[in-house]
């Protein structure tokens, strides 16, 4: 696979091979078919750690154990009091964030516009509250935040899921060519097989807490080269019946 772009047929073939390995590991990937459509997407749910905001009670207590607090100071004068002994009043506002268990739902879709896979996801607390964009960004590992901080909202944005019509976060695919080109070029020169989805996911997944086991990179092959035909999700992509 020498091109950094992906046609929809190859996307489906890569997904099928990924699913075959996932089923052997029982790690939760499945193919979800859209009702009344031939389109579908890869889906996985997982628990992870995220940064969420806390609501403190009057005593400043919180149910979260691993808590970080920040304080902002502001000063104002009481205009209604002429007593010279009254100085400025210091107001302390306390904000708190904590490390909490977060439920993640990941979807991998094909983008016809960019001709690449796209990672959509949403995150919520165990109580069912959806994380806001700021909380999601705070949950990104510091190593990745440092690299992306000059354009954070161009990297992770919130938009409508193209197949479900629901609000999801998405890792924007505009820089996919930038990091996939050298990987695919090196693989071609070394005559190594590369499964595009696995290689791409191993780069973008950890940004939002989705790690890819090493066995995917070593055991999931590149799809065979077949004559072009109308893209159809292979039957094996469907989730096995319980």
Residues catalogued as catalytic: 174
Q: CB burial class (10 A; 0-12, 13-18, 19+) of residue 197?
A: buried
What is d(CA 15, CA 113) in angstroms, rounded to the nearest whole number?
19
CA dihedral 215, 202, 183, 150 (to 10 degrees): -160
The per-residue DSSP string of 18-58 comes to HHHHHHHHT---EEEEPTTSS-EEEEEEEEEEEEEE----T
Q: Which of 152, 148, 150, 160 is nearest to 120 (CA)?
A: 160
**CB of 179 closer than 8 Å to CB of 203:** yes
As a whole number of angstroms, the distance between CA 160 and CA 193 comes to: 34
Contact 28, 46 (CB under 8 A): yes
């Amino acid at each position: 696979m020498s091109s950094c772009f992906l046609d929809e047929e190859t996307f489906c073939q890569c997904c099928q091979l990924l699913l075959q390995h996932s089923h052997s590991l029982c790690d939760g990937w499945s193919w979800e078919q859209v009702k009344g459509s031939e389109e579908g997407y890869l889906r996985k749910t997982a628990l992870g750690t995220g940064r969420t905001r806390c609501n403190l009670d009057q005593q400043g207590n919180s149910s979260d154990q691993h808590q970080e607090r920040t304080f902002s100071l502001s000063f104002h004068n009481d205009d209604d009091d002429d007593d010279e002994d009254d100085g400025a009043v210091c107001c302390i506002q306390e904000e708190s964030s904590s490390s909490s268990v977060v439920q993640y739902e990941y979807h991998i879709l094909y983008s016809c516009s960019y001709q690449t896979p796209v990672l959509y996801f949403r995150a919520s607390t165990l109580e069912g509250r959806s994380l806001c964009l700021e909380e999601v960004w705070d949950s990104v590992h510091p190593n990745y935040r440092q690299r992306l901080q000059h354009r954070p909202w161009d990297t992770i944005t919130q938009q409508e899921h193209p197949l479900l019509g629901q609000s999801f976060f998405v890792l924007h695919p505009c820089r996919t060519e930038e990091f996939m080109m050298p990987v695919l070029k090196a693989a071609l020169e070394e005559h190594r097989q590369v499964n595009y989805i696995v290689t791409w996911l191993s780069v973008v997944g950890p940004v939002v807490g989705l790690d890819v086991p090493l066995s995917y990179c070593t055991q999931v092959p590149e799809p065979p080269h077949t004559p072009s035909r109308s893209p159809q999700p292979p039957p094996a992509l469907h989730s096995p019946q319980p």
